[in-house]
Amino acid sequence: MDYRKKFFVDPAGKLRLQKLDPAYKGEHESPETAQQETEHFRKKLTHQQALLHAQQKHSVLVVLQALDAGGKDGTVNHVFSALNPQGATVIGFKQPTPLELSHDFLWRVHPHAPGRGEVAIFNRSHYEDVLVTRVHKLIDKATWTARYERIREFETGLTDNGTTILKFFLHISKEEQLARFGERLQDPERNWKISDSDYTERVLWDDYIAAFEDAIIATSTHNAPWYVIPSNHKWFRNLAVSQIMADTMEALGMAFPEPSVDLAEIWRKYHAAVEEGHQRKS
């Protein structure tokens, strides 16, 4: 199944997240049945990144957004660990600092856009400024609507410069979120992530869903598409994201560049050096 088509958010359509099943798992019934396919796309992703780095013509920006416990960190760990860290960066956007707040909302984001040959993964992103700020009534409708336009312009500028943009909303149910909070509470390696706000923000669930729906439909374009990924099943999330990213990069038609030197001459010099070494030993 082509998840690029299935989960793409058509900007000409409507988005109602409550009508999309976050527990969807396609034709697979378990992580075991999906494992081979997931590994196939992870290996493909590794190869495509090597081409990206060698060719130095394109870059890739991945945007991960989700409600709390939606799986952003897990996606980074399980999907993007297939990437060579020398050519990939993960940037987490937290609450803006006073310096960042003294500039326009995109000021802190642009320096982290990937250069040619690079992959950048935004764990949260510039979309926080039309989500959290809206839900907590820090901005009004006129402001977040204007910001949609600024975001589209920003992303168009990146794509015009050779950046492929993939934006993923990791869609979980309210019940799944609560279950994951419970798992964290019992895990000494993760319970430090829990805060009071995790539970107080749940009261605003419907407000967040409305904000996500509006932001996604307003900024999903064919050059910078949004994908809504069913993420109740972490293993299916990993499969879908890895397939979409690997296939999108493959569609760029990248290839290793031709050598910039005369290989025959380099081989001649190599064999001459080896022969000279043997003569010195004898």
pLDDT averages per 10-residue partition of the chain, 282 residues: 96 95 94 95 98 97 97 96 96 95 97 98 97 97 98 98 98 96 87 78 96 98 97 98 98 93 85 80 70
Parallel, antiparallel, or unpaired: how do β-strands 119-123 and 163-171 relate? unpaired
Distance of CA 61 to the CA centre of its chain: 7
Contacts of 117 (CB under 8 A, 6+ apart): 52, 53, 54, 55, 56, 58, 59, 87
pLDDT of residue 274: 84
Where residue 137 falls (left for φ over 0; alpha for ψ -120 to 50; beta otherwise) is left
Token pair 């064999």 in the structure block, residue: 271
Number of C-beta neighbours around residue 165 at 10 A: 23
CA distance 136 to 140: 10
Question: Do residues 47 and 249 touch, judged by C-beta distance below 8 A?
Answer: no
Q: Which domains does the chain have, with CATH numbers?
A: 3-281 (3.40.50.300)
pLDDT score, position 282: 67
Contact call for residues 135 and 33 (beta carbons, < 8 A): no
Distances (CA, A) of 175 to 172, 179, 208: 8, 6, 15
